[in-house]
Amino acid sequence: MFLAQSLEPVNDGQWHHVAMTLDAAAGRLALYVDGILNSAVELEKEIEKIVLPITCIGRSGAPDSKPMYLEAGIDEVYLYRRALHPGEVMMLSRPDRESNKGQERELPANKR
């Protein structure tokens, strides 16, 4: 299990864009809040060949401990086959994307 924790609280009653990227080749897990890098974790073991099934979103805690659950709404979830670059995370976090709601928002094929 990999854990990245926000350095600043986001439970302020406002909507926030939260993104997490896992760059297996670089061994880095990064957490972005509102398009800005908030924290990063350097992973100690080689993860390039590990397949990580996503079993839940909004739950934290080690498998042998009492879980903690997110007390918030989740509006949209996107999964990509690669780690997004910081500029791509920033683009996805922009509030003016709301005008495109309901339209497909894909990255170009060579960027997936």
pTM, two decimal places: 0.72
| Cα–Cα dist 29/40, whole Å | 6
- The Cβ of residue 49 has, within 10 Å, a number of other Cβ atoms equal to 6
CA distances from 112 to 17, 68, 71 (A): 20, 32, 31
pLDDT beneath 50, residues of the chain: 99-100, 102-104, 110-112
How many helices (H) and strands (E) the chain has is answered by 1, 5
Q: Is residue 112 a contact partner of residue 105, using CB atoms and an 8 Å limit?
A: no
State both tokens at 75.
């509006």
At residue 102, the pLDDT reads: 47
